[in-house]
Structure formats: structure tokens, C-alpha cells
């Protein structure tokens, strides 16, 4: 690519002289203009494909994805039986509490994705829908080694904290999961009672 840049630069200079000379002597500009444009295109193409330029571009892209993931991982307010969760005992009361938690999670993660509740497994599932976050997590699913670079731990730390809040509110049988946006039947991270039970970055 360096050779292409050097060659293109020389052709650009020669093309400029040729264009100026043709215009002064023959009032002809088409041939010189074509040479200048092609030479300029060769230089730009060579610069864009330089290894150093590509590394810088990839680094910037990774930082942007990391920023997007972590910016959407803001912690939610602590759950409180008194403030938001109905008190009492019995299956109906517990079901009401489960739905109250679901509504809080849906509100807290509204900018991050959709939240659903699987009553069979007692799991609150958060499926990312934001385009940038979806792209970042799809990339992470394909290459978990990028987790640290993308700020994955900051996001999962928030989920771990919220799983403990759920435990305090309605019991320790409930899990909180980040689902794979490419396959919402697969979890990328799961926490229960403030402890990680599954993390794709550790697989």
C-alpha cells in the first residue's frame, strides 16, 4: 500500500503539471483532469488500507461499542418491599411481586432492551434491542475474548447488583439474564442472588 501511495503521489504531481501545461498551451483539460483524479483516488485508497490506519479505525470502533454497552448498563434504583412491592403472603401476593419487579425492570432497562419473565424457570430475561448494543453483543458472542475491551464487566456488574435486589424483594429463587440478541433462547450472562451463575466471557 505504501508503494501505491508513493506512485499515486508522483502521478498526482505529474498530472498536475500536465494539466497546467495542457491548459496553457492547448486549452485542453480533460486528459490531465482524468490523470489527477485517478492519482488522487489511488492515494486515498492506499492511505485507507494502511495497516496503521485500519488498527486505529478498529480501536475507535471497539471503544465506541464499549461506550455504548456501558452507557446502557446504568444501575437501577434498589427494589423495596415498602415502596414498590406489595406485602403479604400467599401465591397471589408473590405473583403480584413478580409482576411489580418485571415492571420496574422494564422501566429501568427501557433504553437497553425488552424485559420478559419466565415463570417456569423464574428468570427475568433482558433482550437488547438498541442497534449499537445489539451489534456489540453479537460481536462478543462470536468472540468472547473481547469482553474486557468492550466493558462487559461494567454491564454485568449492574445486572449482578440488580439480581441481589430482586432476591431481597421476593426471594432467592430468581435469576436475571442478558439474552443473546442473535438467539434470545440463549443467555450471555445470568446472575442469581448477587452471584454470577453464567458468563459467556468465562466460557
Residue 114, C-alpha cell as written in the block: 425488552
User: Of the given ranges (31-35, 72-76, 77-81, 108-112), which has the lowest mean pLDDT?
Assistant: 77-81
Record the pTM. 0.57
Q: What is the mean pLDDT of the chain?
A: 75
- Residue 81 near residue 93 (C-beta atoms within 8 A): no
The mean pLDDT of 81-91, rounded to a whole number, is 37
Whether 194 shows a pLDDT value over 50: the answer reads: yes
Ramachandran assignment for 122, one of left (phi > 0), alpha (psi -120 to 50 degrees), beta (any other): left
Task: Say what the alpha-carbon torsion angle 145, 180, 155, 84 is, to the nearest 10 degrees.
Answer: -160
Q: How would DSSP label each residue in 109-172?
A: TTTTEEEEEETTTTEEEEEE--HHHHHHHHHHHH-GGGTTTTTHHHHHHHHHHHHHHHHHHH-T
H-run or E-run covering 126:
strand 123-128
Amino acid at each position: 500500500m505504501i508503494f501505491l501511495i508513493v506512485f499515486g503521489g508522483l502521478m498526482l504531481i505529474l498530472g498536475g503539471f500536465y494539466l497546467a501545461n495542457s491548459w496553457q498551451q492547448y486549452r485542453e483539460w480533460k486528459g490531465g483532469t482524468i490523470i489527477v483524479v485517478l492519482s488522487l483516488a489511488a492515494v486515498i485508497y492506499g492511505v485507507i488500507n494502511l495497516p496503521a490506519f485500519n488498527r486505529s479505525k478498529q480501536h475507535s470502533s471497539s471503544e465506541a461499542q464499549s461506550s455504548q454497552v456501558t452507557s446502557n448498563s446504568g444501575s437501577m434504583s434498589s427494589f423495596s418491599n415498602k415502596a414498590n412491592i406489595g406485602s403479604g403472603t400467599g401465591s397471589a401476593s408473590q405473583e403480584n411481586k413478580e409482576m411489580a419487579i418485571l415492571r420496574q425492570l422494564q422501566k429501568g432497562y427501557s433504553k437497553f432492551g425488552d424485559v420478559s419473565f419466565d415463570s417456569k424457570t423464574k428468570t427475568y430475561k433482558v433482550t437488547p434491542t438498541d442497534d449499537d448494543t445489539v451489534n456489540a453483543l453479537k460481536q462478543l458472542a462470536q468472540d468472547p475474548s473481547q469482553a474486557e475491551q468492550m466493558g462487559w464487566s461494567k454491564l454485568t456488574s449492574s445486572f449482578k447488583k440488580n439480581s441481589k435486589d430482586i432476591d431481597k424483594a421476593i426471594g432467592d429463587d430468581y435469576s436475571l439474564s442478558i439474552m443473546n440478541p442473535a438467539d434470545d433462547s440463549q443467555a450471555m450472562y445470568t446472575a442469581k442472588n448477587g452471584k454470577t451463575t453464567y458468563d459467556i466471557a468465562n466460557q
